[in-house]
Structure 1
Amino acid sequence: MMHTSLQSRLAIGIAIPVAIATLLAVVLVSYGARQLVDDFVLSRLEHDLETLVAGVELRPGAPPHQGQQLTQVYQQPYSGHYFQIETEGSAPQRSRSLWDQQLDLPSLEPGERRSFRTQGPEGQPLMLLVEGFRQSGQSAVVGVAEDIGPLAATVRLLQTGVAVLGVLLLGLIVLSQTALIRRGLAPVNALRTELQRLERGDIQELNADHVPLEIRPLILEINQLIRLLSSRLTRSRNALGNLAHSLKTPLTILDGLAGNEPEAPEEVRRQVVAMRNIVERELRRARLAGSGMPGATLAPETALSELADVFTRVYAHRAIDFDIQVTPQLRLPLDREDFLELAGVLIDNACKWCHGRVRVSVQRLGEETLLTVDDDGPGCPPEQRESLAERGWRVDEEQPGSGLGLAIAVDTVNQYGGRLTFDDSPLGGLRVKATLVTGRD
């Protein structure tokens, strides 16, 4: 599905009606100019027609006689001013300006008048005015015409100028409206920047000061939603932690009783151990909720360095060489407790099996964050890798631990919509890659 910006929609919504209005204005101006030319020419032709009709004498069986002469322009060949008189049974009388050409006059009843455009001598565009009249019992048709070529050229020039002016005006309006739209949407762009800062954890709430009244309610609702989610997340985390802590005391008592009673069934001891493991796991899951405030970010380089120091002391007898590979100044939109829990489980697992080298790297690829932990240990056979993340499953029962570490890592990865994969490491041991969907920068 194609998405368009609000600015583009508003610009298009303004440009279309403005373009239509400009086109209509050009059409109306063109039509008005043409009509003005026609009315101007017809007003002059009507005067010449009335003068011509008043001076015509119709004689039976003879051509019409023009008693009153018109202006000299009707005597110059192809001057652009012409007249023609037609009667029944006789040759038409033409102005000398027609020379050897003839106008095509329609047949009209006496008193009927028509005007239209036609083509005259040498292709001249003419405005022709024709009227039928009757004199001495004889009918006749008289027509006068004028070349409107120069006026039509002027009209075309005017139409072109109006069209160019309309296009320039349209462009100016669109540009000015686009600038106004961009200025009007500046608070929306600022809100988008604020949301990005909120996602990165730079701020805890959106700034509701100095914003338009139309946007302020939205910002207040978002801030209220952030506070509500944070409060609910904190309450859930505390409730889960309190429940797990409240169960630890009776479990400790049961464990002590089972240990002091030799006749206590072995099944009771196993169930107590299982319940203790569940409580420990739920205590860790409580920490997966993070600080309870959306938008937290962390510097993975600092966090991994701290973990490396811790595990260096824990496994001091093994002198493990830690190699931390993180892009400088990289910040991730992850909760610190989530990241430390996940990275701690994977690094601890690598330290247990390595011969002396552990490499940890963090990469940001688009919307995903990749945490990779390699060790130089014996690795894990491919047929056993699918079982590594199962709760309570251990590759080697002689190694310390409850088998819950990688299962907790899977819970963390699933919380971020990611995946946990196992492969051969370039160092010779096992590679564990945690892919988290953390959104774009």
Structure 2
Amino acid sequence: MIRSLRVRLMLAATLLALLFMLALLPALQKAFSLALEESIEQRLASDITTLISAARIEHGQLQMPELLPDERYNLPYTGLLGYIFDRQGKLVWQSRATAAQNVNYTPRYDGRGNEFARIRQASGEEFFVYDVEVKLLGGQSAAYSIVALQPVREYQHTLDGLREKLYLGFGAALLALLVLLWAGLTWGLRSLRRLSHELDDLESGAREGLSGDHPRELLRLTGSLNRLLRSEREQRQRYRHSLDDLAHSLKTPLAVLQGVGESLQQRSGEREQSRILQSQIERMSQQIDYQLQRASLRKSGLVRHSVVLRPLLDSLCSTLAKVYRDKNVDVTLDVPEQACVPMEQGALLEMLGNLLENAYRLSLGQVNVSWAKVPGQLTLCIEDDGPGVPADQRQRILERGERLDSQHPGQGIGLAVVKDIVDSYDARLSLGDSVLGGAAFRITFNLE
């Protein structure tokens, strides 16, 4: 399938131009053939006039001069043949040029005066014939048929030469037309290229909307896209504000309940109830955090983000090294300085934070972060030398809808958040064994 609009238009224009020229070519050939035949008819009529002016009637007999004024009648092989027949169809005179020709022709006395026709001989050779009936010759009453003939091969040779020139001319014209069409389409589609560049800038975050410097036909499209962008930004902003309000309104009652639980814990007879209350409060708090993070970390559908990875890794590893300073974790960052990940910075920070915190917490002392890029794909891998994940648990914890926090209260929601973030970017999260001996989490992005 041809995906280029310019190539499609060029192919359509080429087909139309070719069809037009193929239809025009026979018409031009026919018009030239008719014009050439008319020219031959006029020339033969002029040649017959020469014969009529040279003919004389003496004592009732036709007399023709030895040499005619038109030298083509006097020289053999000139192609111009002259004959004079009487009323009975008997040949009474022929020009010298007919010596090498054997033409079988019978004049017609039909009262039309003259006739232009095309005859074919038994040998297959064709001639143009102009036949004139003369009743008054040299001032005396006479009845003769004066005939001039010309071989068709000269006409056909001229016509073939014209056809060849037409083909060459039409081919050159088609080539020139295609060049002009390509140039015209390139100029005409320049606005679409400019719009494409603006969309690229929009996806990369270099601009917030499309400009109005476009043809009228594209203004409705750009206006609709700008309204969609504004609506999306405003909706996301309202959504975040609503989430912040919801978090604030729920955190305060939970804090009050947490205080009540601590008060109950100090009473000896209510410690079990206090433990249950504290557990449920913690679970509710985790669920609120999870749902808020899950809702707020969705990517924009119109903007393509790209974040440099190394600075975020350095910052997160520095923070986690302080949290887990007693473990003295050795971190290897196999990541180029300019390596980028196609994610929003907030989502990437949340995803890396959960995976690195998980690796630091479970590792024995070694964590490795690697980055690899191949045509069409980018892979980010975080490994540790901890106990790993049992093979029978890997698929379950990576399936959509499985939440470790709901299956194991108080155990956190890190992997669930990571899975949702990865899914929102059409990436793939896989879990396997690490060469370090622990777990290896791999996030694969499709770049096409």
Task: Give the alignment's TM-score, normalised by structure 1.
Answer: 0.81
- What is the identity percentage for the equivalent residue pairs of Structure 1 and Structure 2? 26
**Local SS of the residue matching 2:397:** coil
Aligned to 1:60: none
Aligned to 1:7: 6
User: Residues 15 and 367 (structure 1 numbering): CA distance in 2 closer, same or farther, change over 3 Å?
Assistant: same
Aligned to 2:222: 219
Matched-pair contact (CA < 8 Å) for 1:378–1:428: yes
Residue 383 (structure 1) aligned with residue 382 (structure 2): no
Alignment partners' CA distance in 2, 1:3 and 1:244: 51
Aligned to 1:411: 420
Alignment partners' CA distance in 2, 1:394 and 1:240: 22
**Deviation digits for residues 4-41 of structure 1 (CA, Å, limit 9, x no counterpart):** 32222333344344444555565454434333332222
Alignment partners' CA distance in 2, 1:424 and 1:364: 20
Structure 2 unaligned residues grouped into runs of 5+: 137-141, 265-269
Q: How does 1:352-367 map to 2 (within 5 A)?
A: 352-365=361-374
**Deviation digits for residues 231-271 of structure 1 (CA, Å, limit 9, x no counterpart):** 10121122123213311222232343345441738765554
Aligned to 2:149: 145
Alignment partners' CA distance in 2, 1:115 and 1:293: 78
Q: Which moved more, 1:278-287 or 1:69-78?
A: 69-78
User: Residues 116 and 354 (structure 1 numbering): CA distance in 2 closer, same or farther, change over 3 Å?
Assistant: farther
Aligned to 1:129: 130
Alignment partners' CA distance in 1, 2:24 and 2:199: 45
Aligned to 1:203: 207
Alignment partners' CA distance in 1, 2:327 and 2:393: 26
Alignment partners' CA distance in 1, 2:148 and 2:390: 109
Matched-pair contact (CA < 8 Å) for 2:378–2:445: yes
Alignment partners' CA distance in 2, 1:103 and 1:142: 15
**Local SS of the residue matching 1:37:** helix
User: Residues 292 and 239 (structure 1 numbering): CA distance in 2 closer, same or farther, change over 3 Å?
Assistant: farther
User: Residues 75 and 221 (structure 1 numbering): CA distance in 2 closer, same or farther, change over 3 Å?
Assistant: same
User: Residues 267 and 65 (structure 1 numbering): CA distance in 2 closer, same or farther, change over 3 Å?
Assistant: farther
Aligned to 1:348: 357
Q: Alpha-carbon deviation of 1:328?
A: 3.5
**Local SS of the residue matching 2:129:** strand
**Deviation digits for residues 306-363 of structure 1 (CA, Å, limit 9, x no counterpart):** 1111111111111111122224323333111100111111111111221211111234
User: Residues 125 and 325 (structure 1 numbering): CA distance in 2 closer, same or farther, change over 3 Å?
Assistant: farther
Aligned to 1:236: 239
Alignment partners' CA distance in 2, 1:203 and 1:108: 90
**Residue type at the aligned position of 2:102:** Q
Structure 2 residue aligned with 1:176, among 177, 180, 192? 180
**Local SS of the residue matching 1:387:** helix
Structure 1 unaligned residues grouped into runs of 5+: 58-63
Task: Give the alignment's TM-score, normalised by structure 2.
Answer: 0.80
**Residue type at the aligned position of 2:273:** A
**Residue type at the aligned position of 1:187:** S
Matched-pair contact (CA < 8 Å) for 1:201–1:295: yes
Matched-pair contact (CA < 8 Å) for 1:297–1:335: yes
User: Residues 173 and 383 (structure 1 numbering): CA distance in 2 closer, same or farther, change over 3 Å?
Assistant: same
Matched-pair contact (CA < 8 Å) for 1:327–1:363: no
**Local SS of the residue matching 1:388:** helix
**Deviation digits for residues 82-122 of structure 1 (CA, Å, limit 9, x no counterpart):** 24456798765562433364324367451255433456799
Matched-pair contact (CA < 8 Å) for 2:382–2:440: yes
Alignment partners' CA distance in 1, 2:385 and 2:203: 37
User: Residues 150 and 101 (structure 1 numbering): CA distance in 2 closer, same or farther, change over 3 Å?
Assistant: closer
User: Residues 125 and 330 (structure 1 numbering): CA distance in 2 closer, same or farther, change over 3 Å?
Assistant: farther
**Deviation digits for residues 364-421 of structure 1 (CA, Å, limit 9, x no counterpart):** 45555422111122222211212334323699x8xx9624111111111121123321
Matched-pair contact (CA < 8 Å) for 1:101–1:121: no
**Deviation digits for residues 50-90 of structure 1 (CA, Å, limit 9, x no counterpart):** 67689699xxxxxx964445655435443312244567987
Q: Which moved more, 1:249-258 or 1:336-345?
A: 249-258
Matched-pair contact (CA < 8 Å) for 2:286–2:412: no
Q: How does 1:34-113 map to 2 (within 5 A)?
A: 34-49=33-48, 66-68=62-64, 73-84=72-83, 92-93=91-92, 95=94, 96-99=96-99, 101-105=101-105, 108=108, 110-112=110-112
Alignment partners' CA distance in 2, 1:292 and 1:118: 80
Q: How does 1:246-265 map to 2 (within 5 A)?
A: 246-261=249-264, 262=270, 264=273
Matched-pair contact (CA < 8 Å) for 2:333–2:369: yes
Alignment partners' CA distance in 2, 1:75 and 1:13: 59
